């Protein structure tokens, strides 16, 4: 993971990444309980595909590595190994994440448009539905320090919008959503997305980041609605449901917007036993969202 982003995450929570996918059980029963599927970035955080399946996860989130003129994930042989591993374990590749963009910002790096194209093509080949684009550290688009800064950087946002708009047709054709993860409020996310073509973009909403930023998490979710393409779940340094986030309110808001996507567990391992801790968090979220 990018160092700058890791340093940020340790203020809320750090550790492995997993995820769950919410899908309706029956179209005619919109109020019915959703099916939950999880994903885990096992290549970076200690659980392989078999272990991911054992703890109840349904998919993995894959890092693209980099920076390099040609990303590792652009290699067909690399993608083939991923596809073989997830198929054998009965998992899915839910998403890709471009961690290194925190140090090599999408709005300023000359190679960034090519990186994004490679990631989109790779996501399509792997069956992933979204790509996480992080904006922390050097890539931060807020005009001032701290979480309460209201203004965005004009020049950076303009260039970011130009590059993302150029990638939008490719992403739309691939069926891939470009998910922006920042320390922004719902109003700021809306402003940022207003500079871009609507189709092909979304918010990768991290409830842990929102807690650190003292945002109203449930209200943000209700405001952003279908602009949310993915969630990160984490809550401090412990297990989900035992921190400061009102998880019941979060779950209620997610159900209220009829969300049907992936939820990424970016949770720490308090016991230092990844399988046991993931299993505990998986069971908690399944019960929470039931």
The rounded distance, in Å, linking the Cα atoms of 244 and 232 is: 15
- Count of domains observed in the chain: 1
What H or E segment, with its residue span, contains residue 92? strand 92-97
Classified as helix, coil or strand, 178 is strand
Question: What's the pLDDT score for residue 146?
Answer: 67
Tokens of 110: 């000359």
Tokens of 252: 């209620």
Question: What's the pLDDT score for residue 28?
Answer: 36
Say which residues have a Cβ less than 8 Å from residue 47's Cβ, sequence separation at least 6.
16, 18, 40, 55, 57, 274, 275, 278
How do residues 256-288 score in pLDDT, each as one tens digit? 998 988 888 888 889 999 899 989 998 998 889
Q: How far is CA 216 from the centre of its chain?
A: 19
Is pTM, for the whole model, over 0.95?
no
Nearest to 36 by CA among 262, 257, 251, 249: 262
* CATH number of the domain residue 184 falls in: 3.20.20.150
The C-alpha angle with vertex 91 and arms to 254 and 101, in degrees rounded to 5, equals 65
Q: Provide the percentage of residues in the chain whose pLDDT is more than 90.
A: 58
CB neighbour burial string for 236-254, b if at least 16 within 10 angstroms, e if fewer: bbebbeebebebeebbebb
Tokens of 109: 């790096």
How do residues 222-255 score in pLDDT, each as one tens digit? 999 999 999 989 998 999 999 999 999 999 999 9
- Can you give the residue range of the structural domain that contains 204? 3-289
């Amino acid at each position: 993971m990018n160092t700058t982003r890791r340093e940020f995450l340790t203020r809320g929570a750090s550790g492995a990444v997993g995820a769950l996918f919410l899908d309706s059980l029956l179209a005619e029963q919109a109020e019915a309980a959703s099916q939950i599927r999880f994903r885990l970035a096992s290549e970076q955080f200690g659980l392989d595909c078999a272990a991911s399946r054992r703890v109840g996860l349904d998919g993995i989130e894959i890092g693209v590595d980099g920076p390099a003129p040609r990303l590792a994930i652009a290699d067909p042989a690399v993608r083939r190994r991923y596809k073989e591993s997830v198929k054998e374990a009965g998992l899915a590749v839910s998403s890709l994440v471009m961690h290194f963009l925190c140090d090599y910002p999408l709005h300023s790096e000359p190679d960034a448009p090519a990186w994004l194209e490679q990631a989109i093509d790779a996501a399509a080949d792997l069956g992933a539905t979204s790509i996480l684009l992080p904006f922390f550290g050097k890539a931060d688009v807020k005009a001032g320090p701290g979480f309460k800064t209201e203004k965005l950087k004009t020049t950076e946002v303009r260039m970011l919008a130009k590059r993302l708009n150029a990638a939008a047709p490719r992403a739309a054709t691939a069926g891939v959503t470009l998910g922006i993860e920042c320390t922004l409020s719902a109003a700021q996310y809306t402003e940022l997305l207003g500079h871009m073509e609507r189709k092909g973009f979304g918010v990768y909403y991290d409830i842990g980041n929102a807690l650190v930023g003292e945002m109203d998490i449930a209200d943000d979710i209700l405001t952003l609605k279908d602009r949310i393409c993915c969630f990160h779940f984490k809550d401090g340094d412990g297990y989900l449901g035992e921190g400061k986030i009102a998880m019941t309110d979060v779950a209620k808001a997610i159900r209220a917007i009829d969300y049907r996507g992936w939820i990424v567990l970016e949770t720490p391992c308090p016991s230092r036993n990844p399988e046991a801790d993931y299993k505990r968090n998986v069971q908690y979220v399944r019960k929470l969202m039931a």
